[in-house]
Structure 1
Amino acid sequence: MAVESRDIAFDLKTIERDRIIAKAQRYLPEEPLTVTGEQCERSGGGPHDYYSEGDYWWPNPEDPKGPYIRRDGETNPDLFYAHRYAMVRLSEIVGTFASAYFLTADASYAARGIAHLRAWFADPETRMNTNLLYGQAIKGLHSGRSIGIIDTLHLTEVALGAKLLSGSRAMDADTDSGIRNWFRSYLDWIQTHPYGQTERVHPNNHGVCWSMQAAAFAHLLGDEDVLKWVRNQFRSVYLDEMMDDRGAFPAELARTKPYGYSLFVIDAMAGVAQIASTPDDDLWEFGLEDGRGMLKGVEFIAPYIADKYAWPFGEDILYWDDWPVRHPSLLLGALRFGRSDWLASWSNLEPDPMPFEVQRNLPLRHPLIWS
């Protein structure tokens, strides 16, 4: 799972060092904030249950007190976001501290990252329950939905960071065991609960995102059965059924934010390929007989990352001006396929976007821990 370069002179450590160390210094005084820190009166769960609400659901102007109605692509700013903010914050902090520890071997960075991991996954007073029964609820319709599992996509880098930090002297046995037990329980839940079983075969970015997080959890736990399932799904469904002969994903092009969703799905595909591949089963190198594969997918999107105004499928209805950023698919594709032009494009983009809408659709932001 190494971040490898093919015939390109490239030093990721040097490129990332100043950014990562500056962020790590800024985050040192930050205290853990878990789902127990704030609750929503609309949640059907308890203080340890994660809760969120469907992004594109709004009050019905014809029935203001009735069930919400859907407005695709239009995020409702008045929903409950506290747990989402906390989880994205966790991903950002753990990803940063794990990267800083990787660069410096400074145990103080590891200790701070581990403090956040302990609070979320090992401390009985503050840890999150190992389910997503109340994710992406809709007022008046659903107390939770299968597609809510996409929210824990931001635990991908948390799991990768936890694996890296487990080798630090700052990691104690009880915390390490607690973290692994939590991810074991949650990985089992997303495989066995009807929500998880529905989400993992969802025929668009949701299915890919299930596989990316499941692969990261399985990588932490050494669960080869899950990783094998993900690799098979990547080949037989994500490429064979979801990608077209251009390298595009028609289900994402049909959305009201086709550019953002196209970026999102190819980044998730890159994450799956990066985490789940083995030397003998390399998803980056795999291609169908008609040429569809990761190379085709990145070749489709890369010109529009370099020049989004050439995008021929219409502007997104929201957040058009906030894309693109440093997309993992562009970096990993550049290194795996020897494309210095893609690498130059990636290097000129924003590594730490501020809008939350962009952050929540960019779960991979710390490339030093992707190996």
Structure 2
Amino acid sequence: MRNSSTRRSGFLFRLAGAAAVAATALTPITPAAARAARAAPDNAVPVCKGVEGYAASFGGRRTFLWHPDVLMRLKAGRDSDPAIKAAYAGLIGKADIAMGRTLFTVADKLTIPPSGSRNDYLSIVPNYFPDPAKPNGPWIRGEGTNPDRMTNKFDIADLDRMSADVEILALAYYFSENPRYATRAASIVRTWFLDPKSRMNPNMNFAHTVPGRENGRPDGVFETQRVQRVIDAVGLIGPSGFFTADDGKGLEKWFSDYVDWLRNSTHGKGASIQRNINAMWYDSQITHFALYARRTDVVKSVVQDFSKRRLPVHFGADGSMALEATRSRSLFFSIASLGAAYNVAEIASCVDIDLWNLEEGGRGIRKSSDFIAKYHGNTASWPFPESDRNRTDIDDLMYRANRVWGAAYTPNPRVELARYFKM
């Protein structure tokens, strides 16, 4: 249920995390090395193996974007490394707060969607408001953000908080081994996705609604990128037994149904062809959701289309994220767009496809990483419009690039703690 007060949400890009390298050097895991390791089941280097993810290397924990080697190293240093110990204490504090929140559900929002079912997700376009001259008429465009957007009139605040809490609680369970955190995470997931009375129907038909004008827009699909956090969190609590095999099958079915909606609905297909960050996050979502739902055919189809649909359009020959470069917050959106591409490349590696080093017409993820890396620690020199040049989220990209390509990319030593302890 909900707190009726307005909730503030973190930026939607939080899934990719604020990563960072700890004091120890990271060994780059190239796609070629991953394929070699895949052939040796007992290899010490964790390898994402198809629909099972990292389960074979991680005690049955079926994760895809969270790396077992990092998590195990951080857990080993929990009590001995002062920086890890402090980060762990902060995570437990957040988890204890999450334990005290009521369960989230789409079914108790105050506004009924156009379908008549509260089980359908509902959100509004941020910059539309009721028309003072026509209280019952169509909403009109205005300045700023409608404050009702993040209240219990709609679902986005609960979607954001639900996803964040599941992630925090799963990490707290892993690092502490306290079963109460896994129990609560499992309850939150069952309430949001599985219980017939409280579950969200697997569609975004009414995301980015403009009352009186539009019953949803393709842009609204972006909002479910938050849910990517749930997938690896569920994998992390899997061995606890509190999220049962039947729960897992039910959740796989939910995501499979949502994948079908993304592929076949008007809004889903619309999101896939947008010429902006939304299309990149569409790929990030559908590949992650489909792999969790054991639909490798969908993953491979989207990944194989990446070179034709994304590289020529979203990536500039100069290495810039071409479609984001003209925006007033071009650095912010370039980082977020490339972060989505990193997610797709990680999922692609799970099915033996190398997107990290793929180039088409001089465009590619590596080249765009090199372009942004030039401004790491020097964002003031960013050559495109940017209203906030004091950005630190570039650190996450450098952390992830370091894992793939090695020391050519220098990450901030604190980013890893921020990523895995939700600092």
TM-score scaled by structure 1?
0.81
* Equivalent position of 1:118 in the other structure: 190
* Equivalent position of 2:108 in the other structure: 37
Matching of residues 4-15 of structure 1 within 5 Å: 5-6=26-27, 14=77, 15=84
Contact 2:105 2:200 in 1 (8 A): yes
2:92 is equivalent to residue 21 of structure 1: yes
What is the distance in 1 between the residues matched to 2:107 and 2:394?
Answer: 32
* Equivalent position of 2:402 in the other structure: 334
Deviation at 1:43, TM superposition (A): 5.3
1:84-135 per-residue CA deviation (whole Å, 9 max, x = no partner) reads 1111111211111222333344433221111110110111121111111100
Contact 2:234 2:243 in 1 (8 A): no
Which amino acid in the other structure matches residue 332 of structure 1? R
Deviation at 1:309, TM superposition (A): 1.9
Q: Which runs of 5+ in 1 are unaligned?
A: 352-364
SS of structure 1 residue aligned to 2:375: helix
Match of 1:325 among 351, 371, 393: 393
Change (3 A) 1:224 1:207: same
What is the distance in 2 between the residues matched to 1:299 and 1:84?
Answer: 35
Contact 1:40 1:80 in 2 (8 A): no
2:145 is equivalent to residue 76 of structure 1: yes
Match of 1:221 among 264, 280, 293: 293
Aligned-residue identity in percent: 27
What is the distance in 1 between the residues matched to 2:149 and 2:116?
Answer: 14
SS of structure 2 residue aligned to 1:216: helix
Change (3 A) 1:180 1:42: closer
Deviation at 1:203, TM superposition (A): 2.4
* Equivalent position of 2:366 in the other structure: 295
1:215-240 per-residue CA deviation (whole Å, 9 max, x = no partner) reads 22112122101110221132222223
Matching of residues 167-206 of structure 1 within 5 Å: 167-206=239-278
Change (3 A) 1:279 1:152: closer
* Equivalent position of 2:214 in the other structure: 142
Asked which structure has the greater CA Rg, the reply is 2
* Equivalent position of 2:358 in the other structure: 286
TM-score scaled by structure 2?
0.72
What is the distance in 2 between the residues matched to 1:175 and 1:20?
Answer: 26
Deviation at 1:155, TM superposition (A): 0.8
State the superposition RMSD in angstroms.
3.3
SS of structure 2 residue aligned to 1:52: strand
> Once structures 1 and 2 are overlaid, which stretch shifts more, 235-244 or 20-29?
20-29
What is the distance in 2 between the residues matched to 1:144 and 1:51?
Answer: 8
1:250-294 per-residue CA deviation (whole Å, 9 max, x = no partner) reads 22122232222112111111121122323631222323352x322
* Larger relative contact order (Cα-Cα within 8 Å, sequence gap ≥ 6): 2
Q: Which runs of 5+ in 2 are unaligned?
A: 1-18, 20-24, 30-68, 78-83
1:175-219 per-residue CA deviation (whole Å, 9 max, x = no partner) reads 223222221211111111121122122222111111111122112
Change (3 A) 1:340 1:86: farther
* Equivalent position of 1:93 in the other structure: 165
What is the distance in 1 between the residues matched to 2:390 and 2:134?
Answer: 34
What is the distance in 2 between the residues matched to 1:177 and 1:165?
Answer: 15
* Equivalent position of 1:362 in the other structure: none
Change (3 A) 1:66 1:236: same
Contact 1:325 1:350 in 2 (8 A): no
What is the distance in 1 between the residues matched to 2:354 and 2:98?
Answer: 36
